[in-house]
Each structure stands twice: as C-alpha cells, then as structure tokens.
Amino acid sequence: MQRTRFIPSLYAAVLLGVFPLCANATSLAEPEDGAPVLRIQGSNTIGAQLGPALVAGLLDKQGAGSIQQQPGTQPNEIRVTGLLPSGQKVSIDVAAHGSSTGFAALKTGQADLAASSRPIKNAEVRELAGLGDLRSQDAEQVIAIDGVAVILHPANPVRELSINQLAKIFSGEIHDWEQLGGTGGAIHLYARDQQSGTFDTFNELVLTRFGKSLARDAQRFESSEGLSDEVSNDRQAIGFIGLPYVRRAKAVAIIDGESKPMLPSISLIATEDYPLSRRLYFYLPSDSKQRWAKALVRFAQSPQGQSIVAQNGFVAQTVQAVKVRATAEMPADYQNLTREAERLSVNFRFAQGSASLDTKARLDLKRVVDYLKAHDKLNQKVTLVGFGDAKSDPSRAQLLSKLRAMAVRRELLKGDVILRDVRGFGDEMPVATNDVDEGRIKNRRVEVWVE
C-alpha cells in the first residue's frame, strides 16, 4: 500500500548538514565472515522505513552497488546489503521491535546502535553507564522530528480534542462518541504495543500526566502501518501514530492547556510547538569504536541524510524562513514582528532543570549560523524572542524569558552573529500547559526572526 508522504518544498529545498562524512568505503570495510557490519535495534517508527533508507543512503555514499533490502529472520526486521567498490559484500541489520528493545540490545551487546522515538530513560542511562554517558552530545543524536498524530476514520466529524479528553478516551473514561459531539457509538481504541517508543511518548504526554493508564480493551499493534489501516477502516476508531503513518486516516487538532488547537503540521512539528511533537534519536555509545555506526550517525546529520528524512515523511532539521500570519491573540509587539520579519523553522530549548541549551539546540546553533551566513544576515538582521512558563510575578516571567534569549545570543556571537534585538514575552502565547514539567519545558523557548 502507498504511504502518505509529507514532503513540502520548505523542507526539501536547502538541507544544511552538521557533520562531514569523512570515512571512505575501504576504511569502513569489515572482515568477510558473513556477519553484518552494523546492527541497529529499536524503534519501529524509525526502523520500519527511515532506518533502512538511511542505511541504503550510507551504502550509496560509500560507492556501493547492488543495494537491496531483504526481510530479516523475524517480522519487522530488514537486512540491507550492498557491494562495495572493493568487491566486498556487506550487510546491515535493522530490527524494529520498539525503542526499549534498542537499549536492551545495547546492554547485551546485540546492537551497535539504538534507534529510539523517545529520549532515553533515567533507568536506562544507569543500566548502560558502562557504555559512557548516553545523554552526552556525542551519544544522543537527534536525527529527525516527528509528531504523534491522533487519527480517526475519515468520516468522523470530530475535528479537535484536548490532551485531557485524550486521556479520558484512551483510559476508557469517555467511551462513546456522543460524549465528544460525534456520531453515537462505542469508541474503539487502537494503540501501539508496550515496546513502542510511540506508545511511551503518548503514555507520558497524555495518560501518565493525568494519572491514567491505557484501557485493557485497547487493541495493540507492533506495526504502525497496521494500526493506521485498521483505524481508517473502522468508523468508531481512534488511534495514535507517527506522522508518516497517517495514511488514509484523518488527523485531529490537539489542544494543550491554554494553547490553540494545532494539527500535526510540518511547521509546528519543526519548531516542536505541536503538543505531541517528539524527537527521533540514534544512541551511539560515546566510547564506541564501531566505524559503521559512527558513519551512519554522521550521514544522518548530513544534507543527504536529512533529505532522506524528509522523503520518508518526517521533518528534517533544516533551517528555513517562514512567514507567520498575525492574529489577534498575539501581543501587539509580536504582531509587528510578524509584519517586519520571518521566523526561522527552529526553536532553541533548554535541558531540564538547566539554563544550558539541550543537545539538539547545540547542533541547531551551527545550522542557524550556516543559514545566516548563506543568506547574508549576520549583521543586525536577527531578533531573538524568548518565552517562558507562567510565574506568580509576570515581570519575573518576562525577565527570565529575555535571559533565555540572551543565552542564545551569547552562543550566536561565537559565530559572528550581531543581533538587531533581543526580546522577552514572558508567559505569553503558551504552546503547552504550565501544569506539568514537560509543558513548562516546551514553553521555555527562544524563537529566531530574520529581516
């Protein structure tokens, strides 16, 4: 079946890379003993298509020919093979059984690289401490941005749902569509399986947040495609899935706290403002000597790798300028900014409980500087706009939001960027609720605007 793909020209145009691919085919070759040169385990969201596509792209970059994808020994496993210029046949295995299985495989030595559609958990960091700090910048690599879409049958009239409503629906508290303004009838729940990073993300952002758990009668799926196809064939269904797997189903707009309703659009996911947006990761042990794993990480961050990300329906980490339409809900100064400038498709966010930029933001700094250099906007063409979570004292919220923007300014100065202005808007325009840590972290953000 044909997969629905989201490949807007905004993200397919200029893809800025971070790491050069310096290893050549000869240096990467391994002994011809029939074993795979690289073993990747983890997320089905990544491993079903994106992972094998990146692997094939790496092999092509290395000059390999006769590149093929073949089914593995188990369902949701793929072996990618190619013939290097030296004449050596190499294979790379991709197993897609859920994010947690990737970390388990790293622990047992059955994987060289873990693919995950959620951040590594504290317990996993502790269990894998012998492999180095897996939250370090070298180990934790964001390869793409995705959005968890809540999907319905195309004929369902419901158009938007709040996070609170979703928690009640998937826990079974709301059990009839009539309670939501839809056509009467029992709600049929569809969810990813327990090993899935997609389920972990949904569980954390929706169910656990309200002290709820998934209803026992929910149908569970290891396959993203299978879940989506079932929802599109069941008029009473609701499910959640990664953005590329919406296929023939209908996505609904999501509301988080005081945020506006947001559909899982490319622009909102790129900035991670969409309430159910998430990062997709490769985790590489920081002391790894696995040359193919390192080469794949570099390739995934390169222009060619990010092009493959976009082609497979995810959001590439490119930087583009986007025109924003002013609305009445925006502060007057912000409305003026939308008329004078364009917003870059990246937000800077901070590590939890820290004033330091997170691992993605540190890589985004180079992407932003490269964009500004390429478009001759290094000198007084940039305005940074900081936001924050709600405080009892609005003036304190405003000050903290400006200090966050100043922190980004300090980093950009290292790239010879001279700013036009730095502003703080406090707790205005929230993109998430301020009632939980995850929401407050999302609201603490810095936008980049260019003239």
Q: Tell me, yes or no, whether 273 lies in a domain.
A: no
Q: Is the pLDDT of residue 8 over 60?
A: no
pLDDT in tens, 26-37: 457 665 677 899
Asked if residues 408 and 362 have their Cβ atoms less than 8 Å apart, the reply is: no
Residues contacting 367, CB < 8 A, separation 6+ = 16, 18, 317, 318, 319, 346
Q: How many domains does the chain have?
A: 3
333 shares a domain with 213: no
Which residues, in sequence order, are CB contacts of 262 under 8 Å at separation 6+?
Answer: 253, 254, 255, 268, 273, 274, 275, 431
Q: 285 and 136, same structural domain?
A: yes
**Residue 437's pLDDT is what?**
79
**Where does the pLDDT of residue 45 fall: very low under 50, low under 70, confident under 90, or very high at 90 and above?**
confident
Q: How buried is 210 (Cβ within 10 angstroms: 0-12 exposed, 13-18 middle, 19+ buried)? A: middle
Query: Has residue 185 been placed in a domain?
Result: yes
- Residue 239 in any domain: the answer is yes
Q: Are residues 259 and 304 in the same domain?
A: no
Predicted confidence band of residue 1 (pLDDT cuts 50, 70, 90): very low
pLDDT score for 20: 40
pLDDT of 21 strictly over 70: no
Q: How far apart are CA 209 and CA 420, in angstroms?
A: 40
Q: Are residues 391 and 409 in the same domain?
A: yes
Q: Is residue 4 part of a domain?
A: no
Asked whether the beta carbons of 228 and 2 are under 8 A apart, the reply is no
| Mean of per-residue pLDDT scores for the chain | 89
In a domain, 1, yes or no: no
Mean pLDDT of 167-190: 94
Assess whether 306 and 364 both reside in one domain.
no
* 138 and 286 both lie in a single domain: yes
pLDDT at residue 201 tops 60: yes
The one-letter amino acid code at 414 reads K
Of the listed ranges 69-73, 299-303, 437-441, the one predicted with least confidence: 437-441
User: In the prediction, which pLDDT does 438 show?
Assistant: 79
CATH number of the domain residue 92 falls in = 3.40.190.10
Is 3 within the bounds of a domain?
Answer: no
pLDDT, tens digit, 9 for 90 and up, residues 306-332:
999 999 888 999 899 999 999 988 999
Residue 194 sits at φ, ψ, to 5 deg, of -65, -25
Domain span holding position 122:
9-143+280-311
Mean pLDDT of the region 432-447: 87
Residues 262 and 158 in one domain: yes
Per-residue model confidence (pLDDT) at position 19: 37
224 and 303 assigned to the same domain: no
Residues 225 and 239 in one domain: yes
265-297 confidence digits (pLDDT tens) = 888 999 999 999 989 999 999 888 899 999 999
Pairing mode of beta strands 113-116, 277-283: antiparallel
Poorest-pLDDT segment among 140-144, 332-336, 351-355, 388-392: 351-355
* % pLDDT > 90, the chain: 71
End-to-end Cα separation, the chain, in angstroms: 44
φ, ψ dihedrals at 142, nearest 5° = -80, 120
* Residue, of 209 and 28, whose pLDDT is higher: 209
